Structure 1
């Protein structure tokens, strides 16, 4: 099928992209950043009806910030079949960072199981981009259209620019979330140690050893043991 004519106003798109980048960095949580990324995909890329981020954890698929049910259904289908464009894009080991399918009905030779079933879900065109930085791969940002022939070479370029900004913002947000989690965990462990020290007249080292031994013997993460101590007032 012939692709639609490229009609991207790059001057306007650049302004929108700059505004999006500022907006992403202003989000106050990882979830908010993810939601803003996928919302921006539908707002900035012509013909995009839905968007989402697919992440692989030991070949298990996770859908993040889907804008519509269509995204969840497509990701789940790829997980069940073990094949599909988003699955490939998120798996950097396969060497592909970008894909664009103008007409899903023509993609059957490459994804013989996924293509016809995705078309039945209502997918006409798809694009996907590996979200990556120099330090890590973060998943794949995927664009969906219910119509065929909607995603063009200009659409791909626009999506690539959006994904590049999104990867930086997502990496920053995830690092911040990890730091906040680490600080919260350290605070909880410190509070639990204080409870044990006061209740059992232990030194700091002895209190930590109690937590550590209980964690090992019960096969429970140390932070969960600490949370239990804080909640119950002891072990």
Structure 2
């Protein structure tokens, strides 16, 4: 899709693309590619909070951004983590002269020709779950118009990522239900149990062994037995 301008029509096309994207990864990739044209930034990336609340670089328009974002994450400092922790947007007009975050993050960006940036929180469930980062190769690269478009883009991305996550959660839930149903069928056939008793057996085994129900079901399907822990 050509992104020639940040008009309402262009954002409408983006919304359609995001809705059609299959999974979180493709959704985020659509966001960063659109950002290059809508905001006229040089680079864009999205960092997502993953398992254990550790940030993960999910999409970038230049592979160098992976190392730069990961350096900030490993240092446990810098504007990107400020956005995540405080749930606020952060504008850096001139990275070379900004001293809000001590450390090597600014020098690394300037060395790659990045001079200004904006980081915007992408909220899911009222909390910052991801960060949309836009970078320019000139100081003061983001004026009022670019900032307004960036915030609109972040709003679109927030809705799309939340929807994609819900679909993933629902898919996982459906898979778990299918596993439990198959495991119950095995118990019903082997021990002549009804559905209620078969489910009670799985649930009791899960609780007694401190294991998730879908893991117990998967083991029964794979091995046809419920093993005692070592």
- TM-score normalized by structure 2? 0.83
Equivalence for 2:172: 181
Equivalence for 2:32: 38
Q: Within 2, Cα distance between the matches of 1:186 and 1:211?
A: 13
- Bigger Cα displacement from structure 2, 133-142 vs 36-45: 133-142
Point out where structure 1 has 5 or more consecutive residues left out of the alignment: 1-8
Equivalence for 1:62: 56
Q: Within 2, Cα distance between the matches of 1:219 and 1:176?
A: 28
Point out where structure 2 has 5 or more consecutive residues left out of the alignment: none
1:164, CA displacement in angstroms?
0.9
Equivalence for 2:100: 110
Count of aligned pairs between the two proteins? 222
Contact 2:115 2:136 in 1 (8 A): yes
- Bigger Cα displacement from structure 2, 192-201 vs 121-130: 121-130
1:26 corresponds, among 1, 20, 24, to 20
Q: Secondary structure at the residue paired with 1:215?
A: helix
**Equivalence map 1:58-97=2 (5 Å):** 60-91=54-85, 94=86, 96-97=87-88
Deviation readout 1:72-122 (Å, 9 max, x if unpaired) = 22222222221111111122xx2x521221321112x21111322333455
Q: 1:116 to 1:17 in 2, by over 3 A?
A: same
**Equivalence map 1:1-235=2 (5 Å):** 13-55=7-49, 60-91=54-85, 94=86, 96-107=87-98, 109-113=99-103, 114-132=105-123, 135-235=126-226
Q: Within 1, Cα distance between the matches of 2:112 and 2:71?
A: 10
1:132, CA displacement in angstroms?
2.3
1:170, CA displacement in angstroms?
1.5
Contact 1:50 1:70 in 2 (8 A): no
Contact 2:41 2:134 in 1 (8 A): no
Tell which has more relative contact order, 1 or 2 (C-alpha 8 A, sep 6+).
1
Q: Within 2, Cα distance between the matches of 1:104 and 1:59?
A: 27
Q: 1:15 to 1:166 in 2, by over 3 A?
A: same
- TM-score normalized by structure 1? 0.82
Q: 1:232 to 1:121 in 2, by over 3 A?
A: farther
- Bigger Cα displacement from structure 2, 80-89 vs 212-221: 212-221
